[in-house]
Amino acid sequence: MLGKLAEAKTASEFYMKITEAIGVLREYTRKVLDNECALVDMIFKTHISRGCDDYKQPDGCSEAA
């Protein structure tokens, strides 16, 4: 879904991609329900490689986080 939405270059394109993203969701929902793939395969996680203080922004944007 995120990949489909990321294809949009403008707000109106993003709006148009929502229908396609829902189609991707439906496809993977069907695969999970039909046991074509494991639910655990649909989970992803990310982590940061450094501590928060190690990320520096010259304009102070990191302070908002």
Q: What is the domain count for the chain?
A: 1
Residue 57 lies in a domain: no
pLDDT of 9: 95
- Tell me which residue range forms the domain holding 9: 2-46
Q: Answer yes or no: is 7 within a domain.
A: yes
Q: Confirm whether 62 is domain-assigned.
A: no
Q: For residue 25, tell me if it sits in a domain.
A: yes
Burial annotation 8-37 (CB, 10 A radius, 16+ → b, else e): beeeeeeeebeeebeeeeeebeeeeeeeee
Q: Is the pLDDT of residue 17 over 70?
A: yes
Q: pTM for the full model?
A: 0.58
Does the residue 8 lie in any domain?
Answer: yes
CA–CA gap between residue 6 and residue 62 (Å, rounded): 23
8: which residues sit within 8 A by CB, 6+ positions away? 14, 16, 17
Does the residue 41 lie in any domain? Answer: yes
Query: 11 lies in a domain?
Result: yes
Mean pLDDT of the chain: 84
**Does residue 55 lie within any of the structural domains?**
no
